[in-house]
Amino acid sequence: MGTSFLLGGELKVNRIGYGAMRLAAAPEPGFEAGTGHIWRAPVDREAAKAVLRTAVESGVNLIDTADSYALGENEELVAEALHPYRDDVVIATKIGVARPSPTEWVPVGHPAYLRQQAELSLRRLKLDRIDLLQLHRVDPAVPLADQIGALHQLRQEGKVRHIGLSEVTVDQLREADQITPIASVQNMYNLANRGHEAVVEYAAAHDIAFIPFFPVAGGEHAGPDGPVAAVAKEIGATPAQTALAWLLRKSPTVLPIPGTTSLEHLAENIAASAVQLSDEQFERLSAIASA
């Protein structure tokens, strides 16, 4: 299936990337885990920067962030750790979601807002041009053509190299691609959550990168007695590596971006690119996941 992919037909990226969303402080006091995440930068910035630097030193060259993560501080953290960027490092960010409180993620697709947020991302990331700018969420109150048009204008101005979308359907992807070339789509997808199967297939057929977020799912299937653990034991890998290997085998345009704050887990995730599943093991996992 190959260990690299040409993003946008010309940016060579290794197929295990890094999602920087996890580099955030613990939830605000009074918020339950899972409801107030990604609101502030991590307390230990040096440890977070060490993870980013180690990722790149270990061969990861696709780093994904967003302007809404920690109200822009996540982008600043990426720049602190990696700027000046190596020539082969591809920086991807997302715009189009406002954060009025720790628990709110509100799509805002007004063209002027999108262009403003792109300018702020450029400053925080210390870039003259963003390699991959993604529409974080489609705003249902604004015509999709207007939202994509704003990103297309940024590309025409030389501020964006490639354009991507997040959490979209095949119809939305097809409509956007008629306005400007779409290089990637970032939807939730993993062994346990395969609601975007049609998008995965469309992306593969059109050489569009499919970047699954939350690529390593939890749940019963991932437990110590679950099917993923059983296959992992057979191949001498961890369950997380096995789940990532399944994604890599699923389609040649799939680029998982597992995030972590742990150097140990980072190494584990990167090593998943070398994990091989037999045809029978791949089909067994696929059948269990879709049952």
Give the amino acid at 254. Answer: V
Residue appearing with tokens 């992992």: 232
CB 281 within 8 A of CB 234: yes
**Phi–psi pair at 7, nearest 5 degrees:** -70, 125
Terminus-to-terminus CA distance in the chain, angstroms? 25
In 68-172, at which residue ranges do the beta strands (DSSP E only) sit? Answer: 90-95, 97-98, 106-107, 130-135, 160-166
Positive or negative torsion for Cα 103, 109, 113, 114: positive
Q: Which of 69, 85, 189, 202 is catalytic?
A: 69
79, 117, 246, 252 from 1: Cα distances, Å: 32, 36, 11, 6
Nearest to 129 by CA among 91, 86, 72: 91
Cis peptide, bond prior to residue 84, ω within 30 of zero: yes
Q: What is the CA radius of gyration of the chain?
A: 18
What angle separates helix 239-250 from helix 263-271, to the nearest 10 degrees?
A: 40
CB 260 within 8 A of CB 269: yes
Could you give the 3-state DSSP secondary structure of residue 126? coil
Residue appearing with tokens 């003259």: 128
Residue 69 among the catalytic residues:
yes
Give catalytic residues, as residue numbers.
69
